[in-house]
Every structure is written in structure tokens, then in C-alpha cells.
Amino acid sequence: VSGMGLASLYRFVTETGRAKGGLGTPEGGGIAEAYDHDDAARVVIDRFVSLYGAAAGDLALEVVPTGGLYVAGGIAPKLHAQLGAAFVERFVEAFLDKAPMGAVVARTRVTLVNEPAVGLLGAARAAG
């Protein structure tokens, strides 16, 4: 799940006629910004956020992160900024949809990291 994946999904949806879009050559952040006025962007982002939540839920089942799961990167904060509570609702719904293991996933704390330089800051801290 990535900004490039979001752009690929947008191209697929528009090229196959599943929704109309007018972004031309889209980028992940541009698709998020077009959510309110581009049908394809809306379809793609709604699906993408669900896929993101489902993938995070799968990861939580695989590794059972007792310290929680941290969602970092470029696209998640952009989508959250654009969609607000709708992002959280879609993500969490797909994250928890893991029957019969939903109770295991429900115990996992999920944190959205909004710091764009989190990797650099972590490396600096590790370097001492």
C-alpha cells in the first residue's frame, strides 16, 4: 500500500471505465486532494483506505504487535488530513474485519505517525 499503488489503482479505475476522473497523470497526494470533486478519486480512495486497513489487520494477526502498530509513510497522513474521521472509520472497519480472529486484532493499538521525517529521526537517535 503506497502512493504509487494509489496512482495505479486510479489509472485502473479510469481506464476500465469504472469511474470518471480528470486528473490525467495522478500522484497519491493529488488524488487525495481531488477526493471531493473527482468521482474516480473518491472510489479509489475509499477502496484504498479499506485495503490499507485490511493489510494492517493481516499484519497485526501475523506478528501480534504487543506494543501496537504504527502506520507511517507519506500517503496515510495525507489521506487522514483530507478525510478526517472517514479515513479512521474505513481503516478501522477493515482492520477489525478478521473473523474469527477479530478479538486478537481488536487488542492492537494503532497509531498514525504524522511526522514526515520519522525515519531520519529514528536513525539519528540510534546513532546516538
Q: Encode pLDDT of 34-83 as tens digits.
A: 899 999 999 999 999 999 999 999 999 999 999 999 998 888 888 888 88
User: What is residue 74's predicted lDDT score, i.e. its pLDDT?
Assistant: 84
Q: Which domain holds residue 75?
A: 3-127
Picking from 52, 49, 65, the residue whose alpha carbon sits closest to that of residue 109 is 65
Number of structural domains the chain divides into:
1
pTM (2 decimals)? 0.86
Quote the CA–CA distance of 105 and 94 in Å, as a whole number.
11
End-to-end CA distance of the chain: 32
pLDDT tens sequence across 9-25: 999 999 999 999 988 87
Rounded to a whole number of angstroms, the CA Rg of the chain reads 16
Which CATH number covers residue 30? 3.40.367.20
